[in-house]
């Protein structure tokens, strides 16, 4: 009987320790969630980081929403995209609405020889924030070997989704390091965290953006630079081919207003409370279940696209 007492005491303290640990974890998680999604960090972006914000892919969707939101915080904005006509339109809208200075740079990120021009055009600007947003995906979900014009598709996806992030960072980061302040916001995707079959190249390029961002944040945070990987699920944009926003597929404006509040608080963020909850749920699923669901959904989208294309 006496020998059972030490064992009972040991189990008591193990149980007590486990409950205490879980209570602390839950309390910290609730505190973090309240801090990020309830309070946010409105002061995380603004001219205090530097006069100018640079946004790639800034004439539509998330990029345009970031440009407008940063202008709303008082920052001058450099808009970079392919179409000069669209750049002029967005530039005029931002000037009129937010009363800030804008500049435009028209380049095609599928090309590799554009960065000397960008560097020249940005020379002398005090850049506080870089938003690496430009990106492309597939026309429709497809098996790797059946992607139309596969070799060209590989080159385009890598140039736009990967090379642009590295090269734009190379252009802007030295000035931030010199001033010991700045933020680089890299728009990745939830598909960079959870592999997406039938979107293999896109998913893999977004995984690169996420890993690159994490590494860069650790390398330069001691120098005053905040690097963030933004990992949204579906947002109602042209790229996602979603026209009508819903509670789980917010408009780009709604998403960005939420995501901006996480700057300085989360180096990896889903940017939007519902997306954060979705990420938490998927992360506890066995990978084979998630992959099976993802494969089934994309096979369905592929079948509908090919059926419609055949009719036309």
Integer Cα distance of 202 and 135 in angstroms = 9
The CATH number of the domain holding residue 238 is 3.40.50.720
- Which SS3 state, helix, strand or coil, does residue 262 take? coil
Name, in order, each residue with C-beta under 8 angstroms of 266's C-beta and a sequence gap of 6 or more.
36, 228
Q: Does residue 17 form part of some domain?
A: no
Q: Does residue 24 form part of some domain?
A: no
Integer Cα distance of 175 and 57 in angstroms = 22
Note the pLDDT of residue 31.
Answer: 56
Integer Cα distance of 88 and 102 in angstroms = 10
Q: Does residue 184 form part of some domain?
A: yes
Residues of the chain with pLDDT under 50: 1
Angle ∠(279,182,108) on CA atoms, nearest 5:
75
Note the pLDDT of residue 57.
Answer: 96
Q: Does residue 1 form part of some domain?
A: no
β-strand partners of 140 = none
Name, in order, each residue with C-beta under 8 angstroms of 50's C-beta and a sequence gap of 6 or more.
126, 127, 128, 129, 175, 176, 179, 181, 182
- Which among 66, 115, 140, 202 is annotated as catalytic? 202
Residue 272 annotated as catalytic: no
Integer Cα distance of 277 and 8 in angstroms = 39
| Tens-place pLDDT, residues 137-174 | 999 999 999 999 999 999 999 999 999 999 999 999 99
Note the pLDDT of residue 311.
Answer: 78
Note the pLDDT of residue 218.
Answer: 98
Cα 71 to Cα 11, 245, 248, 270, 312, distances in angstroms: 59, 23, 26, 22, 43
Task: Answer whether 212's CB lies under 8 Å from 167's CB.
Answer: no
Q: Does residue 11 form part of some domain?
A: no
> How far is CA 242 from its chain centroid?
18
Which helix (H) or strand (E) segment holds residue 288: the answer is helix 287-311
DSSP state of 138: -
Cα dihedral sign for 87, 92, 98, 104?
positive
Strands 182-187 and 225-230: parallel
Note the pLDDT of residue 238.
Answer: 80
Note the pLDDT of residue 243.
Answer: 82
Number of domains in the chain: 1
| Tens-place pLDDT, residues 112-132 | 999 999 999 999 999 999 999
Q: Does residue 21 form part of some domain?
A: no
Note the pLDDT of residue 282.
Answer: 94
Integer Cα distance of 301 and 310 in angstroms = 14
Q: Nearest Cα to 39, choosing from 302, 264, 274, 280? A: 264
Note the pLDDT of residue 250.
Answer: 96
Which helix (H) or strand (E) segment holds residue 186: the answer is strand 182-187
Radius of gyration of the chain (CA): 22
Cβ count within 10 A of residue 132: 27
Q: Does residue 197 form part of some domain?
A: yes
Q: Does residue 14 form part of some domain?
A: no
Integer Cα distance of 125 and 127 in angstroms = 6
Domain that holds residue 104: 46-311
Global pTM reads 0.88
Residue 211 has which token pair?
Answer: 């890993």
Residue 228, judged by CB atoms within 10 A of its CB (0-12, 13-18, 19+), counts as buried
């Amino acid at each position: 009987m006496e020998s059972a007492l030490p064992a009972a005491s040991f189990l008591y303290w193990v149980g007590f320790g486990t409950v205490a640990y879980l209570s602390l974890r839950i309390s910290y998680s609730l505190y973090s969630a309240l801090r990020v999604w309830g309070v946010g960090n409105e002061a995380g972006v603004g001219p205090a980081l530097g006069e100018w914000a640079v946004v790639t892919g800034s004439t539509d969707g998330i990029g345009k929403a970031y440009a407008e939101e940063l202008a709303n915080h008082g920052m001058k904005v450099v808009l970079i995209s392919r179409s000069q006509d669209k750049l002029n339109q967005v530039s005029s809208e931002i000037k009129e609405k937010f009363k800030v200075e804008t500049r435009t740079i028209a380049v095609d990120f599928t090309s590799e020889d554009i960065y000397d021009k960008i560097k020249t055009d940005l020379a002398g600007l005090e850049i506080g924030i870089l938003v690496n947003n430009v990106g492309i995906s597939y026309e429709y979900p497809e098996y790797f070997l059946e992607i139309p014009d596969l070799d060209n598709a590989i080159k385009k996806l890598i140039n736009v989704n990967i090379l642009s992030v590295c090269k734009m960072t190379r252009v802007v980061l030295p000035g931030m390091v010199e001033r010991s302040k700045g933020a680089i916001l890299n728009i990745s995707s939830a598909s960079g965290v959870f592999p997406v079959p039938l979107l293999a190249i896109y998913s893999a390029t977004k995984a690169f953006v996420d890993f690159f961002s994490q590494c860069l944040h650790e390398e330069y945070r001691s120098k005053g630079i905040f690097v963030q990987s933004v990992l949204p699920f579906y947002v109602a944009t042209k790229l996602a081919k979603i026209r009508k926003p819903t509670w789980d597929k917010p408009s780009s404006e709604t998403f960005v207003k939420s995501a901006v509040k996480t700057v300085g608080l989360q180096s990896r963020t889903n940017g939007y409370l519902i997306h954060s909850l979705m990420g938490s749920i998927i992360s506890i699923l066995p990978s084979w279940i998630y992959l099976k669901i993802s494969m089934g959904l994309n096979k369905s989208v592929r079948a509908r696209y090919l059926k419609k294309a055949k009719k036309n």
